[in-house]
Amino acid sequence: MGNIIVSIHQPNFMPWLGYFYKIWKSDIFIFLDDVQFIKTGASYTNRVSLNIAGESTPVTIPVKRPSGVWNINQTEFANERWKKKLLKTIQGNYAKSPYFKANREFIFELINRECSSYSEYNIHFVKEISKRLGFETEFRVSSEIDKGQIKNATDRIVKLVKSVNGTHYLSGKGGDNYQDNNLYIDNKIELIYNDFVYFEYKQPRAENFIKGLSIIDAVFNIGFENLKREFVEINNKKDNR
């Protein structure tokens, strides 16, 4: 059996390009949906940045916040009103983008999807975008995997990777801040890092290229085919070093 690269990430809301590059580089991608939702503020699971009037502007989606502690897969949207407001914002700021008309219906249908569980909503968005990009990655959900007793964050990752017979774990670049690297070695899992490198493209009204925006910024400005081509070129440049 060959190498099996596994990556794990919370089901973020309309994620950025690096999130999808990570999926593309993986054989199996696991949505980490059974960890605690932050009680105050916003995270990338319900917040995303868009190009609004030429500047990176965060958009936060309202969710219900019950008392006590709850997990991501137990979280629900606070209301449906945010969808209309978000669509209006996208229309006003991306209508003149080169690939807006070609992809408007597809993206707007994803946003308008009726679903009270925001974890399921985010997962559906990511899967559909990945499908349109032609990814062959297999998707799994952590809450559906038996992990036994979890000792710490790295132990959770190791057990998830082993549950799908993974040989490599593709981590984000910030993983060294909290991971126990020896635990990967002990379990014969090779630790590798996401090597996404930004590529620039023209963005409406932006004086300089804006990093960290939702993938829909690239979809509307360069289209799916060109986006997939950029991923391939990034990977080829890495391989030819």
Domain ranges in the chain? Answer: 5-144+206-239
Burial of 213 (0-12, 13-18, 19+ CB in 10 A): buried
List the pLDDT tens digit at each of the 241 positions of the chain.
589 999 999 999 999 999 999 999 999 999 999 999 987 666 889 999 999 999 999 999 999 988 888 899 999 999 999 999 999 999 999 999 999 999 999 999 999 999 989 899 999 999 999 999 999 999 999 999 998 888 899 999 999 999 999 999 999 876 565 678 899 999 999 999 998 999 999 999 999 999 999 999 999 999 999 999 999 998 887 555 4
* Residues in a beta bridge with 16: 214
CA 48/CA 213 separation, integer angstroms: 7
The Cα–Cα gap between 172 and 187 comes to 19
pTM score of the predicted model: 0.94
Report pLDDT for 148. 86
